[in-house]
């Protein structure tokens, strides 16, 4: 980050900027992501370009988004020797994902995500992407545990179930806060999500509704949540649980993502949302 001083760059808290520069760690993240010579990569958060350079060394093409335009001279200097990269200085959350996917074709996402944007960005790829093959993201350790949690645990929730529908999430390495600059107040972890797995549902919209229902009030039983979410009588809620082969009296957080998927299919068939 010597060029940071050269160009008078100042970190901006509003963007959640915490940069990594450890070359061995950056190379390991690229390997974790499964990036190969024929891989197109979408990076969110170019930062100073350190991870971008590591990606360019292995990828076919890297499309990187950076919201902070004051980083432009630093990034241009950092990436000046690479011809397989394009940096777009825009807010990725406001970009048209379909247009990006037309440009990239099959691709993988690699990103050191700002903590304040982690969940909405993850959900965007889970719910909207059509040609993304997988994610490799640096996130807050607490979020990483939620992404990979098992049903019935305190960490398990809507994010876990949504990701599981598309693929398998794994924590592949822990990253202590001391490796970032400026240093955040929490540790991080690298999580990969392989989109080649997952399971099918009749309606992604109904699955999302079933997930919201299951986790909207952890103190209530799933039966009561079904009544509130879909305006069912108690008998109708009991019948739905019976058809889904879910015991009465359970709470939503004990259901596996696949069981929520089965419930969502019944909701779709009965046209309940």
Fold of 204-269: Helicase, Ruva Protein; domain 3 (1.10.8)
pLDDT at 192 over 90: yes
Query: According to the model, what pLDDT value does residue 13 have?
Result: 55
Residues in the chain: 273
Q: Stretch 6-15: mean pLDDT, rounded?
A: 50
pLDDT at 8 over 60: no
Structure-block tokens of residue 171: 């924590």
Domains of the chain by residue range: 2-194, 204-269
Three-state DSSP class for residue 225: helix
Q: What are 34-60's pLDDT values in tens digits?
A: 999 999 999 999 988 999 999 999 999
Of 101, 102, 139, residue with least CA distance to 117: 139
CB 252 within 8 A of CB 218: yes
The pLDDT-based confidence of 96 (bands split at 50, 70, 90) is very high
Q: What are 203-240's pLDDT values in tens digits?
A: 999 999 999 999 988 889 999 999 999 999 999 999 99
Cut 0.85: pTM above it: yes
In the CATH scheme, what is the homologous superfamily, with its name and number, of domain 2-194? Answer: Vaccinia Virus protein VP39 (3.40.50.150)
Give the lowest-confidence range in 2-11, 38-47, 99-108: 2-11
Helices (H), the chain: 2-6, 23-32, 50-58, 72-78, 97-104, 118-128, 141-147, 158-166, 204-215, 222-230, 234-243, 257-269
């Amino acid at each position: 980050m010597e060029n940071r001083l050269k160009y008078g760059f100042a970190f901006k808290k509003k963007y959640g900027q915490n940069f990594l520069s450890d070359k061995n760690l950056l190379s390991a993240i690229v390997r974790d992501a499964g990036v190969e010579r024929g891989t197109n990569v979408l990076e969110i958060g170019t930062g100073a370009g350190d991870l971008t350079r590591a990606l360019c060394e292995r990828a076919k093409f890297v499309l990187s988004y950076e919201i902070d335009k004051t980083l432009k001279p630093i990034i241009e200097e950092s990436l000046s020797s690479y011809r397989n990269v394009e940096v777009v200085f825009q807010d990725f959350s406001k970009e048209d994902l379909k247009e990006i996917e037309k440009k990239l074709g099959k691709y993988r996402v690699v990103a050191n995500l700002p903590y304040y944007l982690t969940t909405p960005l993850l959900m965007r790829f889970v719910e909207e992407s059509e040609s993304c093959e997988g994610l490799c993201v640096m996130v807050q350790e607490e979020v990483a545990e939620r992404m990979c949690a098992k049903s019935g645990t305190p960490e398990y929730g809507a994010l876990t179930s949504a990701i599981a529908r598309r693929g398998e999430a794994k924590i592949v390495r822990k990253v202590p806060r001391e490796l970032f600059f400026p240093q955040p107040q929490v540790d991080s972890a690298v999580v990969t999500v392989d989109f080649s797995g997952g399971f099918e549902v009749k309606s992604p919209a109904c699955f999302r509704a079933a997930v919201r229902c299951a986790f909207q009030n952890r103190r209530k039983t799933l039966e009561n949540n079904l009544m509130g979410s879909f305006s069912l009588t108690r008998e109708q809620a009991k019948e739905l649980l019976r058809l889904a082969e879910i015991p009465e009296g359970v709470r939503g957080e004990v259901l596996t993502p696949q069981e929520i998927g089965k419930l969502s299919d019944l909701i779709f068939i009965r046209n309940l949302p």
